[in-house]
Amino acid sequence: MHKEFVLTDWIRITRAFNEIEGEGIITDKGNTCCQSCGAHELGSDDTPYVFFHEQDELDAFGDDAETLDSDLYLSYSDAGTAITAVGILRDHGLQASWDGDINRRIRIAV
């Protein structure tokens, strides 16, 4: 018997991040411990970036690691990167939003 393929939130995010990388933007999913470390590690040169850190991942995905249990927040390098990322995330069926304030992160709603 075939196991039915389920397009999980994690898969959607992974696919969106792959497309974002195709735009020349570095992405990272949960590989840094916090926002400060992620911005420091990814922002060491002028390359734009989008990421969520380990704490964000644990808060948003809980024990499931496939489906969002609560909103996920993404950090980014600049406004243009945020706009590009939100568009691509939406194209992949995620409820992404950003209010244009560079002091606030991108939100992917449950």
pLDDT tens-digit series, residues 61-97: 987 778 999 999 999 999 999 999 999 999 999 999 9
What integer is the mean pLDDT of 15-29?
97
**Nearest C-alpha neighbor of 93 from the set 5, 4, 16:** 16
What is the pairing mode between strands 72-76 and 26-29? unpaired
Q: What sign for the dihedral angle of Cα 68, 95, 21, 32?
A: negative
**Per-residue pLDDT at 25:** 97
The model's pTM is: 0.92
Mean pLDDT over each residue of the chain, to the nearest integer: 93
- Distance CA(109)–CA(28), nearest Å, equals 19
Tokens of 45: 């040169």
For 49, phi and psi rounded to 5 degrees? -145, 160
